[in-house]
Amino acid sequence: MIISIFLFSIFTFRFDLVKGDDVRKFPDYFKFGVSTAAHQIEGAWNVSDKGENIWDHLTHTKPSAIADGSNADVACDSYHLYKRDADMLVELGVDFYRFSISWSRLLPNGFSNKVSQDGLRYYNNLIDELLSRNITPFATLYHWDLPQKLQDLGGWTNPIIVNYFEDYARVAFESFGNRVKNWITINEIPQICTNGYAKDIYAPQVMSSGIGDYLCGHNALLSHARVWHLYNDTFRPTQKGRIGITLYSHWAEPESNSVEDKAISERGMQFLLGWQAHPIFSSEGDYPKVLKEAVYNRSMEQGYSHSRLPVFTLEEIKYLKGASDFLGLNHYTSVVFRNDNKTEWMSQFPNPSKERDLGYDSYFHANWPPTISAWFAVNPPGLKHLLNWIKNEYTNPEVIITENGYLTRGGLIDVDRINYINQNLQSVLEAILDDHCNVTAYSLWSLMDNYEWNDGYRFCFGLYEVDFKSENRTRRPRMSAYVYKEILRTRMINPYYLPSFSDFQYETYKSSASILQCHMKIFSISVIFLLMMHFLF
């Protein structure tokens, strides 16, 4: 028995946590945060003079676009409950809070001739509340909630958006820049442009596949650059903050180690991330060559008179290059691309489309645990590969992971989320300590359950559960909240950490049955292991 206990402890001891005498810790400069977005949490959709945005419009005119027919009219009601949100940030011990500003709350018509006093008051209160709790505000200007009045003019497909986005950003810098020193211009070009302007998934559901998505991306990149230059030239000298863009990328895992499969993965990465990152972060600027060639060639085959991918002028190429203080990265999952022209996969995508331009089928590796969502399977090493790809492709820019997280159907015992966080942070730690990737911060999605866009309230991403049926939108910490808190406190990952009984106030939880199940599982696995060892030796 003693031998088996000894062996058990040897087997379970994590050598990878310790290297030499040093515990594998996040460096001192590394910051931790949590993320949310205005439309997903604020509610108060028409309070005071707030203007309608494209998600208000879509959910009110076409509820069938949302899995559960819901909207974000109240959501987490953070408009009223932001002090409770600040309490939670303190409970977790985060360094910063990534939230977004609602364009149509600040500028009800989308234009800067009218600034909402109520919008100003709300964000001033939120920012002051955060600062009074010693939490750094990290503000995103655009997280998908375009004022409907601008969509009426074509939204992100109209090049005039660059001017209006600059006007909005100027008001935000003038109003909040004395206290907000960390800014993100735009969150996730692929989701805005592909889901919103190529498909009927996200608002505004403009189905202009293979044209509208590229045009949207083009104008979004130019808008970002305009606002970066505005901040850099006009506000940075006095406000002394920093500003970047948040991009989304899967990791494109090669199907095998063959040269051919690696080339497929590389081309896939250029279509996924290169499309958004190359114009800003590469030394030569502009879109990746493979993307330009592929879209041009297909466009010609399809009888267009020029490429469906818009062309940057030489002046624009220069203007975009280097126009970001850091690369904000959102990442959730990996994907495998496969050069499979024979199957029917292409028929599921319209012609033209970005998928057909890429020309690869995609799938999730059989070893990656699936999640409850069709777009998401779990492959934590993918994050490390992605960080290394960025390091090598763009000469190691500063990367801030602005989103990463896991979804469940609810419940307070979220062991799968805990594993996801531990394993993804392990991947980040290895990228920093072993590969010298310049990652300086990590922000978990999300502080609490919120309005998950076209999935409504059926998927939960929160460290805190939100009771959307209760009047006061009661928030309660999940088990993962305690685990994240412990990681932040110790600055290391202990995959065996479970919150103590007193931390995790079991008696207050309805789901005590599942806690018991969880403990029983751990207990029974240990007993079986010990017995096996006992009989073997």
Binding residues vs ligand PNW (CB under 6 A): 37, 40, 187-188, 191, 248, 330, 332, 375, 403, 445, 452, 461
Peptide bond into 352 cis (omega under 30): yes
Q: Facing residues of 100 across strands?
A: 140
User: Looking at beta carbons only, is 368 or 461 nearer to ligand PNW?
Assistant: 461
The least distance separating ligand PNW from the CB of residue 405, rounded to whole angstroms, comes to 7
How many other CB atoms are found less than 10 A from the CB of residue 233? 9
User: Looking at beta carbons only, is 37 or 487 nearer to ligand PNW?
Assistant: 37
Amino acid at 187: N
Distances (CA, A) of 152 to 149, 160, 196, 214: 5, 12, 14, 19
The least distance separating ligand PNW from the CB of residue 371, rounded to whole angstroms, comes to 11
User: Looking at beta carbons only, is 206 or 447 nearer to ligand PNW?
Assistant: 447
Residue among 42, 188, 253, 316 flagged as catalytic: 188
The least distance separating ligand PNW from the CB of residue 420, rounded to whole angstroms, comes to 13
Phi and psi, residue 404, nearest 5°: -170, 135
The least distance separating ligand PNW from the CB of residue 461, rounded to whole angstroms, comes to 6
Phi and psi, residue 114, nearest 5°: -130, 115
- What span, in angstroms and rounded, lies between the C-alpha atoms of 151 and 160? 11
Provide the 8-state DSSP code for 157: G
Distances (CA, A) of 427 to 78, 486, 526: 32, 18, 27
Residue with tokens 């993307």: 291
Residue nearest to ligand PNW (CB): 375
52 is a catalytic site residue: no
Q: Is 358 exposed, middle or buried (0-12, 13-18, 19+ CB in 10 A)?
A: buried
User: Looking at beta carbons only, is 27 or 369 nearer to ligand PNW?
Assistant: 369
The least distance separating ligand PNW from the CB of residue 335, rounded to whole angstroms, comes to 9
**For helices 78-92 and 117-132, what crossing angle results, to 10°?**
20
- What span, in angstroms and rounded, lies between the C-alpha atoms of 523 and 520? 5
DSSP string, 430-496: HHHHTT---EEEEEEE-SB----GGGTTSSB--SEEE-TTSTT--EEE-HHHHHHHHHHHHTS--TT
The least distance separating ligand PNW from the CB of residue 330, rounded to whole angstroms, comes to 6
The least distance separating ligand PNW from the CB of residue 337, rounded to whole angstroms, comes to 14
Amino acid at 390: I
The SS3 call for residue 186 is: strand
The least distance separating ligand PNW from the CB of residue 69, rounded to whole angstroms, comes to 18
Residue among 42, 129, 393, 403 flagged as catalytic: 403
| Sheet with 361-363, side-by-side order of all strands | 251-253, 334-338, 361-363
User: Looking at beta carbons only, is 24 or 105 nearer to ligand PNW?
Assistant: 105
Cα angle at 361 between 360 and 364, to 5 degrees? 125
- What span, in angstroms and rounded, lies between the C-alpha atoms of 368 and 50? 43
Token couple for 140: 């995103």
Provide the 8-state DSSP code for 51: P
- Contact of 374 with 397, CB cutoff 8 Å: no
User: Looking at beta carbons only, is 191 or 494 nearer to ligand PNW?
Assistant: 191
User: Looking at beta carbons only, is 270 or 334 nearer to ligand PNW?
Assistant: 334
The least distance separating ligand PNW from the CB of residue 421, rounded to whole angstroms, comes to 14
Burial 461-487 (b: 16+ CB within 10 A, else e): bbbbbbebeeeebebbbbbbbbbbbbb
User: Looking at beta carbons only, is 372 or 531 nearer to ligand PNW?
Assistant: 372
User: Looking at beta carbons only, is 156 or 248 nearer to ligand PNW?
Assistant: 248
The least distance separating ligand PNW from the CB of residue 274, rounded to whole angstroms, comes to 16
Token couple for 445: 């999605």
Distances (CA, A) of 98 to 143, 178, 198, 403: 11, 17, 28, 9
User: Looking at beta carbons only, is 403 or 414 nearer to ligand PNW?
Assistant: 403
Q: Tell how far CA 99 is from the center of its chain.
A: 12
Q: Tell how far CA 474 is from the center of its chain.
A: 24
255 is a catalytic site residue: no
Provide the 8-state DSSP code for 274: I
Catalytic site residues?
188, 403
